[in-house]
Structures are given as structure tokens and as C-alpha cells.
Amino acid sequence: MADERAERIAEFIGPLRVKPGSKVNLGRDFDPRYKAGLRKREGVELLRTGVSLLAEYQDRLAAQDTYGVLLCLQALDAGGKDGTIRHVMSGVNPQGVRVSSFKVPSTEELDHDYLWRYARRLPARGEIAIFNRSHYEEVLVVRVHPENLVRQKLPDDAGGPGVWDRRYREINNWERYLTDNGFKVVKIFLNLSKEEQRVRFMKRIDLPEKNWKFSAADVRERRRWDDYQHAFSEMLSATSTKWAPWYVIPADRKWFARICAAAVLAHTLMDIDPQYPEAGEQARKDLLAAKRELEQEAPAGAPADPYASRHPTAARATDGSDTPAGGRRASGAGRPTKKRG
């Protein structure tokens, strides 16, 4: 069943993946209104399925404590990053997820290399870290606004011609390093059309409860639309790699964008295929001793093991008499839980 789900998800997100080494023209190659022939009504159930899959595999990821996942979200203003995070991660354990948003760099951050502030927010093993805007700001906003490059106080020979190609190379190498050490990098670009951005800006202006989300700077940035489209196209072409590919998600329909984001993240976790750890011989003895002690405390008339009375296979897995093939135990009993601070 897991293999079938993985195959269906891989097929669904295939058209969204930027082929490594390809030359991307964002306006030509990706349609912001693409919806794979789905209707919104179907999308509700698909998103529910995706969130359920994420919850299942995040639990395994935390228990195994071997891999970490970094999800990078990029988009123009009003692209739907916040809503995507809120809906896609709605069913996961918040202890295992950390969201970081990156605004204008502080004085301290400008006194370090440009990747320093991002490296400080990377996930631990067993965690999912989400970058709401990411290290790709360093080849997007900084490229569109070169004055930001000046603020980084680079040596003369580091900020001249070739700076963007060098940064693409450095970012690719950094992500390769992370991947080689067990930290999967998932990169999603929410592709919004210019007209849909205008509509969303108008909504933020017209609705008082949305005013706080709008800034005059949003309109100023919109004037640089073509510059950003060029910067995005160059970024996608140069940094979609075999170990950390980009996915361009159509963002004009929020419901479809959320389905796609959930599918991309679920595909990554299913590819890792984390497993619940096996309890060793001594740990199993300790579990059985604790079980016997708790059974002796059962009130009169109550089952000694209420859970096992409803789930007989769980009891057999705990005492070792019925361990499923592949080392994975029946759900529930005997599962170590990773403690988080």
C-alpha cells in the first residue's frame, strides 16, 4: 500500500519538478493556474489524505531520529506561504516542526557570511524545519536590489562580476553537504500570476481585518515584477539539483497549491521511509516487567490490559510472539518515544 501511495504521489508531482540542468523560463514553462484537472471538491479530500500521510511519516521520522528535513518556501508577496504552512502542517506534532521567517538581516547577521543566519535554524535529526523565505533570498531580493549586497560588506573581489554564479555554486554545495549528512532539502516555489497578486492585494486593502498584512512596500516590489521573474528563472535553472530539486507549484488556486505542497513533502518523507526503532532484549524485558506491574494494579472487574483487550495483535507484538516481517511492530505497544526539550 505504501509503495502504491508513493507511486501515485510521485506521478502527481512529476510535472511540478524542475529537471536538474534544464533552462527555465518561468512565464513560459509553468502555468500559475494549472490544477491537473481537479475540482476544488476533490481537493478537500486529497489535502486531508496528504495531511494524514504527513502525520504518519513525521511520527516515524521523530522516532527513528536519523534524518532531518528542511522545507524551503519561496514566493512573491501574497503568494500563500503562510496559508500553505498552516494548512499542510495542520495534522503534525508541533514539537517536531520549527518554522523560521527571515526578514531584513540584523547588524549581527550582516557581520557574518550570508548563509550564517540560515545555518543557525537548520533542523535537528528527527525534525522538520520550514524556512518561510530562505537562503534563496540571497540570490533573489539581494539580486533585484543590489544595494543589499553592498550592506553585506563583502571584500571588493567577492562582490563583483560572477557573484550570482558563485552563490548558486555555494548554495548547491551547501545543500549537497546537508543531504550527504542525512538532512533532506525540499524546495517549493509558489508560482503566482501578476493578476492574482493584484486581486489578493486588493482584498488586503478592502478588508479591515486584512489591512495588517499589507504594506506600501508590497506595491513598490510589484513594480519590479519582471526583474523578479528573471531572478526566479535563473535561480530555478541553476539550483534545481538531483539531491535538492525545485518544485514549481501553481499558486493562483490556494486549495490546489496546498495539495501540491503536502504531496511534495509527503513524497520526501516516504522516500526516506523512516522506521520505528526496535526495542533491544533488555528494553523488552523492562517493558514486560512494567506491563506485569501495571496489570496487577487493574481494579476488580477491569481487564488487566485494556488496550490489548481491544487490540490483541499489540499484545503479541510486545511479548515478541508476533513481530511483523521487516522489523516493524504492530502499532502502539513497545514504541520508544523521543523526548523533546
| Nearest CA among 41, 25, 58 for reference residue 262 | 58
Residue count of the chain, please give it: 341
Tens digit of each residue's pLDDT (9 = 90 or more) over 62-72: 999 999 999 99
Number of C-beta neighbours around residue 18 at 10 A: 21
Tens digit of each residue's pLDDT (9 = 90 or more) over 250-300: 999 999 999 999 999 999 999 999 999 988 888 889 989 999 999 999 999
Tens digit of each residue's pLDDT (9 = 90 or more) over 75-115: 999 999 999 999 999 889 999 999 999 999 999 999 999 99
Whole-angstrom distance, CA of residue 207 vs CA of residue 244: 39
**Are 127 and 89 contacting, i.e. CB atoms less than 8 angstroms apart?**
no
Whole-angstrom distance, CA of residue 294 vs CA of residue 304: 8
What is the predicted pLDDT for the residue at 7? 84
Whole-angstrom distance, CA of residue 249 vs CA of residue 267: 15
| Nearest CA among 139, 142, 122, 140 for reference residue 131 | 122
Predicted confidence (pLDDT) at residue 330 exceeds the cutoff of 70: no
Q: Please state the rounded mean pLDDT for residues 220-248.
A: 97
What is the predicted pLDDT for the residue at 104? 92
**Are 183 and 69 contacting, i.e. CB atoms less than 8 angstroms apart?**
yes
Q: What 3-state DSSP class applies to 247?
A: strand
Lowest mean pLDDT of 151-155, 233-237, 321-325, name the range. Answer: 321-325
Predicted confidence (pLDDT) at residue 1 exceeds the cutoff of 70: no
